[in-house]
A = this chain, B = another copy of it.
Amino acid sequence: MIDTAALIIIGTELTRGIIQDRHGQFVSKALSSLGIHMTQIVAIPDDGTIESILGALVRKNDLVVITGGLGPTSDDMTRECIADVAASPLERNEESWKSLYAKIGDRISGANGKQTLIPRGFTRMPNPNGTADGFYGYTPDGRLLISLPGPPKEMQPMFENLVVPLLSSLSGKGETVRNEYSSFITAEAKLEDLTHSIAPDLTWGTRFQDYKISLYLSGGSAEDRERAIAALREECGSQLILDGDVSALDPLVSRLRAGGLTIACAESCTGGLAGAVITSAAGSSDYFLGSVVSYSNSMKETVLGVDPAVIASCGAVSEECAEQMADGVRRLSGSDVAFSVTGVAGPAESERKKVGHVCFGFSSRQRGTQSVTLDFSSWGRESVRRKSVVTAFLLTAAYLDGVDLRQTVSSWKWV
């Protein structure tokens, strides 16, 4: 049974910063999906450090994977160290010798000959793309050691084709299931707190990205995971936790494409960010007509046709203004649907309207113009702007579905 693993990556080019490691993530991901817990990834130079590291890691892990150090020079000490730890002498592997002879001919009698030595009792792993075969075997107390060459184009195919099948058959666990969700607006620390208290027995992880947090659940039964995610949705708002690896824009774009609809937007505090995110996708000209960034009140009035009396009485950050902005840009662009964003991104704020106070308007041919207001707990200007863009996308999709927007946002407890 293999539960824990460590990875040793040998290469002075790594510890000098000359090249970027490419094994750490590759191996971790593969082991993780096999349900094996990676306890450490260690990169060390080709200077013999392997001796002390390997001994220490093999005592604490069921499996140690070692990449590199299998070359023909005296710096390449991996095979000697593994032989020591496995208490098994190096001997020539005939298959490996024949294979190398076929590749390099008589040069095998020089330093390269060393590359055909593996510890007695270990199994050869053929390397179709280089001169150094890999090998695997056990220490006297049953720890598995796997040694692979360093170059990614040699190591990675060997890992996929030989190591993964070997570990799958040894693990006896079969397939490990891991569910992925995309969470929006709720802060990462809050999402972690909630997940921890809702699903103490599941394994979970989060990954912060600019506009979303990926949430991973594993362990338990499928029902356990379903129950946990339903409870999380109850807590955060069901529109804010979507299945799979999706963006906040995906639900909106799929509705626009399905309905053959065009969209435009009017932005104030987001300053163009909504349009920039929409147009970062190739092909967005199929549905996106444009945006009016009315940062000044005069542009709201002269370009979008917002009534100056509304700005004077309710302010530019108001649901009334947001509705007129959305109607205005829809009329101006001729789009089927439009949304607007106007709010206080900070740091300046007023007595009545605090940083994070943002109003959204929604306009379409099919249904009446609507608006909602959110008060984001702010972590600064960029955070308010990003949350505003994400909210605008999610709510415009809900608006197209005919959902009650005020009720929707009233269930968003952790904005």
**When the two chains form their complex, are residues A295 and B279 in contact, meaning their CB atoms are under 8 A apart?**
yes
Closest to A33 in B: B17
* Distance between Cα atoms of A38 and B302 in the complex (Å): 59
* Distance between Cα atoms of A387 and B111 in the complex (Å): 23
Q: Decide if A104 is an interface residue (CB 8 Å cutoff).
A: yes
**When the two chains form their complex, are residues A189 and B72 in contact, meaning their CB atoms are under 8 A apart?**
yes
Q: Could you list 27 examples of A-B contacts with CB < 8 Å?
A: A17-B25, A17-B26, A18-B29, A18-B205, A20-B24, A40-B44, A40-B49, A41-B42, A41-B43, A56-B56, A72-B189, A73-B189, A111-B189, A264-B299, A270-B276, A271-B276, A272-B274, A273-B276, A273-B279, A275-B275, A290-B292, A290-B293, A290-B295, A291-B293, A292-B303, A299-B333, A303-B333
Interface of chain A, helix or strand or loop or mixed? mixed
Interface residues of A, Cβ cutoff 8 Å to B: 12-21, 24-32, 37-45, 49, 53, 56, 71-73, 103-104, 111, 189, 192-193, 205, 207, 214, 216, 264, 267, 269-276, 278-280, 282-285, 288-296, 298-299, 302-303, 332-334, 346-348, 379-382, 385
**When the two chains form their complex, are residues A27 and B38 in contact, meaning their CB atoms are under 8 A apart?**
no
* Distance between Cα atoms of A273 and B379 in the complex (Å): 22
CB distance from A372 to the nearest CB of B (A): 22
User: What chain B residues lie within 8 Å of A380 (beta carbons)?
Assistant: 103
User: What chain B residues lie within 8 Å of A15 (beta carbons)?
Assistant: 28, 38-41
User: What chain B residues lie within 8 Å of A40 (beta carbons)?
Assistant: 15, 42-44, 49, 53
CB distance from A270 to the nearest CB of B (A): 7
Closest to A271 in B: B279
What is the total number of copies of this protein in its complex? Answer: 2
User: What chain B residues lie within 8 Å of A16 (beta carbons)?
Assistant: 28-29, 32, 38, 205
**When the two chains form their complex, are residues B19 and A24 in contact, meaning their CB atoms are under 8 A apart?**
no
User: What chain B residues lie within 8 Å of A279 (beta carbons)?
Assistant: 269-273, 293, 295
Closest to A29 in B: B17
CB distance from A260 to the nearest CB of B (A): 15
**When the two chains form their complex, are residues A293 and B293 in contact, meaning their CB atoms are under 8 A apart?**
yes
Most buried by B among A37, A276, A288, A332: A276
* Distance between Cα atoms of A189 and B296 in the complex (Å): 41
* Distance between Cα atoms of A192 and B76 in the complex (Å): 13
**When the two chains form their complex, are residues A13 and B276 in contact, meaning their CB atoms are under 8 A apart?**
no
**When the two chains form their complex, are residues A332 and B303 in contact, meaning their CB atoms are under 8 A apart?**
yes
